[in-house]
Amino acid sequence: MNPDIQALHDRFALQDLLTAYCYAVDRLEDVEGLVSLFTPDADYDLSAIGLLRTKGHEGIRAFFTRVFADMAHHAHYSANFTVQRLDGDAASTRAYVTGMGIARDGNCVTVHVDYYLDCVRTAQGWKIARFYEEPLLPMPGSLGEIHGREENHAA
C-alpha cells in the first residue's frame, strides 16, 4: 500500500484499538476479548491514578475479572485522540477519557483522565504494549473505594 495511505489506515486502526478497549471495559463480561487487545507482556499502569500496575495478560485478566464482578455499569468516552508518534510498527497515542462507573453496591465514580498508549503492530493487528493514564482532574474518593477493593483481593 502507498505509505501515505498506509499512515491513514494506521491512524484509524490505532483509534479503533482505543475504542475497542473502551467497548470491552464497558461490556463487563468478555475478559478474554479485553486481554487480547494487549501484547502478552504489556505494561498496564494505573499507578498515577492510585491503582495497580501489572505486567502481562495474567495480571490484566485478574484485575478485570474482579472489576467486572464488582461493577454494574461502565461507560468510557474517549476524546482528543492523537497519534503522537508513528514509526513503522510502533506508535504512541494519546487521548482523553471520561470514565463513569456504577458499582453493584451502588457506589458511583466519574474520572477525567489522560491515556497514553504505546502500541505495536503484530500479525494480529495493532496491540497495546504499554497502557498508562494520568488524572486530568482530581480523582474522586470513590475510585479507591471501588477499585482499591480489587487490589486488596489481589494482595
Contact residues for a second copy (CB under 8 A)?
1-2, 4-5, 8-9, 11-12, 16, 19-20, 22-23, 26, 73-82, 94, 96, 98, 100, 102, 112, 136-138
Nearer to a second copy, 35 or 99 (CB): 99
Q: Which of 133, 111, 143 is nearest to 48 (CA)?
A: 133
Closest approach, Cβ 94 to a second copy, in A, equals: 8
Nearer to a second copy, 14 or 51 (CB): 14
- Other Cβ atoms closer than 10 A to 52: 19
- Other Cβ atoms closer than 10 A to 94: 16
Q: Which of 80, 60, 76 is nearest to 25 (CA)?
A: 76
Residues 6 or more apart in contact with residue 14 via CB below 8 angstroms: 83, 86, 91, 93, 119, 126
Closest approach, Cβ 152 to a second copy, in A, equals: 26
Closest approach, Cβ 22 to a second copy, in A, equals: 5
Nearer to a second copy, 45 or 114 (CB): 114
Nearer to a second copy, 74 or 147 (CB): 74
Task: Provide the 3-class DSSP secondary structure of residue 115.
Answer: strand
Closest approach, Cβ 155 to a second copy, in A, equals: 30
